[in-house]
Amino acid sequence: QSALTQPASVSGSPGQSITISCTGTSGDVGAYNYVSWYQQHPGKAPKLVIYDVSSRPSGVSNRFFGSKSGNTASLTISGLQAEDGADYYCFSYTSSSALYLFGTGTKVAVL
């Protein structure tokens, strides 16, 4: 496996909640609670928003919520705001020789 699978795009209206999935295998997402999520605005560096599946770094809004079930991790953004429009990537440690895998990335559009 070369990448974790994410939907190409997700959209929502301001104030709504959206969820981005990140599907891996029993050798990565399913095996470890080592999933993190990154937000990237155009032309900018990625920013950590979730680590350890569901932990938020200091300064990240509590509107960002991470979870995991089986081989799929999820990022939920509640109370969607215009500033949440960005690309989001999941990232996981893997027991395979690849060592680490990024997700394919999801573009979030705030309608």
From start to end of the chain, where are the E strands? 9-12, 18-23, 35-40, 47-50, 64-69, 72-77, 86-93, 100-102, 106-110
Which of 7, 46, 54, 85 forms a contact with another protein (CB under 8 A)?
46
Six token digits for residue 12? 């929502």
| Beta carbon nearer to another protein, 15 or 57 | 57
How far is it, in rounded angstroms, from Cα 50 to Cα 80? 17
Which of 1, 14, 16, 52 forms a contact with another protein (CB under 8 A)?
52
Which of 20, 23, 38, 64 forms a contact with another protein (CB under 8 A)?
38
In the three-class reduction of DSSP (H, G, I as helix; E, B as strand; rest coil), residue 83 is classed as: helix
- Among 18-26, 39-47, 62-70, 75-83, the segment contacting another protein (CB under 8 A): 39-47
Instruction: Determine contact, residues 105/88, Cβ cutoff 8 Å.
Output: yes
Which of 12, 24, 66, 105 forms a contact with another protein (CB under 8 A)?
105
How far is it, in rounded angstroms, from Cα 14 to Cα 42? 20
| Beta carbon nearer to another protein, 16 or 55 | 55
CB of 51 to another protein, least distance (A): 4
For binding to another protein (CB under 8 A), which residues are involved? 3, 32, 34, 36, 38, 40, 45-48, 51-52, 57, 89, 91-93, 97-105
